[in-house]
């Protein structure tokens, strides 16, 4: 099992419950692909470095999970088509 981190930038124009549902759906994609979510960090609303879809702010979430090597590709494929996600990045965390 490897350790991964999925960073999500969620639209600031949606309601709180819709934003929570978006993060829950991303977590569901991880578990469905065979990963285990270990931690979710909510960094809150931040100003974006540049405008994305005419938005200047977004909510940042970092989801840590343990999974096999094929899981991140499957998760990215599912997250890519989600409407309220402005940007995402899945990286493998170093063993330190």
Tell me the pLDDT tens digit for each residue of 42-96.
999 999 999 999 999 999 999 999 999 999 999 999 999 999 999 999 999 987 6
What residue spans define the domains of the chain?
Answer: 2-92
CATH entry, 2-92, from 2.60.40.10, 3.30.70.60, 3.30.450.20, 3.30.540.10: 3.30.70.60
pTM of the model: 0.92
CA distance 95 to 13: 37
Q: How far apart are CA 13 and CA 17, in angstroms?
A: 12
Task: Report the C-alpha gap between 50 and 82 in whole angstroms.
Answer: 20
Which alpha helices (H) appear in the chain, and where do they start and end? 16-32, 71-80
- The set of long-range contacts for 47-50, using a CB threshold of 8 Å and a minimum separation of 24, is 48/9, 48/86
* pLDDT number for residue 96: 62
Task: Kindly report, residue by residue over 14-36, the tens digit of the pLDDT.
Answer: 999 999 999 999 999 999 999 99
């Amino acid at each position: 099992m490897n350790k991964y981190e999925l960073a999500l930038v969620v639209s600031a124009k949606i309601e709180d419950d819709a934003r929570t549902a978006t993060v829950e759906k991303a977590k569901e994609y991880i578990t469905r692909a065979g990963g285990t979510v270990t931690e979710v960090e909510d960094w809150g609303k931040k100003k974006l470095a540049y405008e994305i879809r005419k938005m200047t702010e977004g909510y940042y979430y970092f989801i840590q999970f343990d999974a096999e090597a094929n899981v991140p590709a499957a998760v990215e494929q599912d997250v890519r088509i989600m409407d309220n996600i402005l940007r995402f990045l899945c990286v493998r965390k170093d063993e330190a």
